[in-house]
Structure 1
Amino acid sequence: MTITLLPVTGLPEIAAGDDLATLIAQAIHLQDGDIVVITSKVVSKALGLGVLTHDRQALVLEQSTAVVAERATATGVTRIVASSSGPVMTGAGIDASNSEELLVLPPDPDAAADDLRTALQAATGVHLAVVLSDTSGRPWRAGLSDFALGSSGLQRLDDLRGLADTHGRDLAVTVRNLADEIASAADLVKGKIERVPVAVVRGSASLLTDEPQPSLVRTGPTDWFALGRHEAVRAALGVTPGSPDAEAVGLPAVGEEPVAERLQRAVRAAAHGQPPVAVQVDEQSLELAADDPVALGRVWARIEVALAGERLTCSAQQLGPQRVRITVRT
């Protein structure tokens, strides 16, 4: 099989209301079996999904269904969220590059791909597929790569489970994500700096299909990474990620932080929603006191959990039925 990647050059700056199908059809001669990969931001521009606001953080939360992780930075707060459009992305996929507005993702990326495919096929008379691509990082991997935010007319997955490998052993977990592979390959010939938002993948006509395709977003029991480490611990303590409570408790920073700051944050998380307990904190230890031994024990246990969420270990010394000293070990 020979696959050819063709950048679609010469497209004008896209504005709200532009006819993307006509512009693409005029810029390149499309053939049966082509896969048109288009940056989702261009689709957002054509759909008029630009937002003029100075509060990007509020817009991120507005365009999210859940916060996966959040960190304080020198310029504000960076959040990894489950976007309203489906995938987990940094900042809900909101983009300001090459635009005067903040562009949000199409609310239904597959429907947007369907619409563009229908219009392209009507304009060209050829049978093709469409992929809306976007850029994202991946856990454990440096850098960014493109993935399929939405698609139409394309086989998304190639399930090889149950087939034999070259040694005769059955494959148990191999399901290739063809849509993401197509999106990533196309990005080799397009890009923000070059202002080439569209590419054509030619030579993979066998992947075209009109059959319904499964979602590529893992949810529920199949999602092993629904929360970051800090966020999972804090959520268990009743501090919901992305909430005012989370900001009141304090967000962990991207870089290294003093032990005393992490200790104070753990105390605030542990005390959230609990009966009052007297807490005296110094650089690397704290003392708890309460008339109610049950309340004391409850906050004591919560503080040890919160400290573990801050990657801090501790030892505890009971000073009496109503007092405890907890010392952080570094």
Structure 2
Amino acid sequence: MHLFAVPDLPEIGPGDDLAALISERVDLRPDDVVCVASTVVSKAEGRTADLADFPAGPRAREIADRLADLTGDEKDPRFAQAVLEESVDLLMEAPFLLTETRFGHVGVNAGIDRSNVPGGDLLLLPERPGESAERIRAGLSGADAPTGVDTPAATATDTPAVLVTDTCGRPFRHGQRGVAIGWAGIPASRDWRGETDRDGRELGVTVENVIDELAAAANLVAGEGAGGTPVVVIREFDFGDHAGSDNHFREIEGDFVRQALREWDFDG
């Protein structure tokens, strides 16, 4: 497979048609995977906000004061309030905020961005990035936009798949890498269980998270900071003859790291 960035995309604003902007700049193939950074999806969906939109409550002020004591830097309690409102679970509140978003993604500060946000202080993640991916895919196919992920309009095999990507850190590794937070037209994972290795032994546990791997590859091409290009096309990726599923975010019952975090308190 090979990857390339979609060139010359303009600054994205509320209401912009990302599918049309992409289609105008590249001739897509049916088996392409189009990776779209969540930043431009959020901008098109009007997910910019001001700190003034989040008057701080007692919990947010408490969190901000504790982080300020730990770091020696003043923390805006309105930002803590924004994180709380964008989250359904607060896994850690010190030495940073690790949260679960409404759609199941676990990351720092609910994925809220404070850089490259024209017209606001904050850029929030898309509310439902799976539906965002479906809408973009429908636009690429020329179909009507779907009303929800359970009734996608873009189901034809001749329509490129779409990933909505973000960057975040991960346990036990330094730095950030690309991840998928929404997807359409491709299974989230491919299941090798029941297949055999080179020695004929049956695989019992191997499930490959394909959309995260593709998102990480796309992030190498997209770049970061001021020089980033927010849309990358992956061409000639072959899913192969494997079982697939949309299992992506780990269920709490089997997430032993999350369970351990709930019993842990930072005392630094």
The aligned runs of 1:117-196 (5 Å cut-off) are 117-122=137-142, 127-193=159-225, 194-196=227-229
The aligned counterpart of 2:257 is 225
Alpha carbons 2:35, 2:231 under 8 Å: kept? yes
Give the aligned residue type for 1:87.
H
Letter of the structure 1 residue corresponding to residue 17 of structure 2: D
The answer to whether residue 113 in structure 2 is matched with residue 95 in structure 1 is yes
**Which of 128, 132, 143 is the equivalent residue of 1:108?**
128
Whether contact under 8 Å (1:161, 1:171) holds in the other structure is: yes
Instruction: Give the alignment's TM-score, normalised by structure 1.
Output: 0.64
**Bigger shift: residues 35-44 or 96-105:** 96-105
* TM-score normalised by the chain length of structure 2: 0.78
Equivalence for 2:89: 66
- Post-superposition, which runs of at least 4 consecutive aligned residues in structure 1 deviate over 4 A? 205-208
Query: For 2:41, what is the secondary structure of its paired residue?
Result: helix
Measured in 1, the distance between the counterparts of 2:108 and 2:250 equals 16
The question of whether the paired residues in 2 share the 8 Å contact of 1:157 and 1:175 is answered with yes
The count of aligned residue pairs is 226
Quick one: which amino acid aligns to residue 134 of structure 1? D
Structure 1: any 5+ residue segments left out of the alignment? 73-77, 235-250, 254-330
Q: Which has the larger radius of gyration?
A: 1
Deviation at residue 172 of structure 1 after TM alignment: 1.5
Name the amino acid aligned to 1:40.
S
Hey, what's the Cα distance between the residues in 2 that align with 1:142 and 1:41?
A: 22
Query: In the alignment, which residue of structure 2 is the partner of 1:198?
Result: 231
Question: Which structure's relative contact order is higher, taking Cα pairs within 8 Å and 6+ residues apart?
Answer: 2
Task: Give the Å deviation of 1:213.
Answer: 4.5
Deviations 1:287-315 (A, max 9, x none): xxxxxxxxxxxxxxxxxxxxxxxxxxxxx
Greater strand content: 1
Kindly state the Cα deviation for residue 191 of structure 1 after the two structures are TM-superposed: 2.2
Q: Which residue of 2 aligns with 1:37?
A: 35
Give % identity: 36
CA distance in 2, matches of 1:170, 1:68: 37
Residue 195 of structure 1, CA deviation: 2.7
In 1, distance between residues paired with 2:160 and 2:240? 10
1:128 corresponds to which letter in structure 2?
A: P
Q: What letter is aligned with 1:118?
A: A
Aligned to 2:10: 12
Residue segments in structure 2 that go unaligned for 5+ positions in a row: 53-77, 144-155
In structure 2, do the counterparts of structure 1 residues 207 and 146 end up closer, same or farther at CA, with 3 Å as the change threshold? farther
SS of 1:130's partner is strand
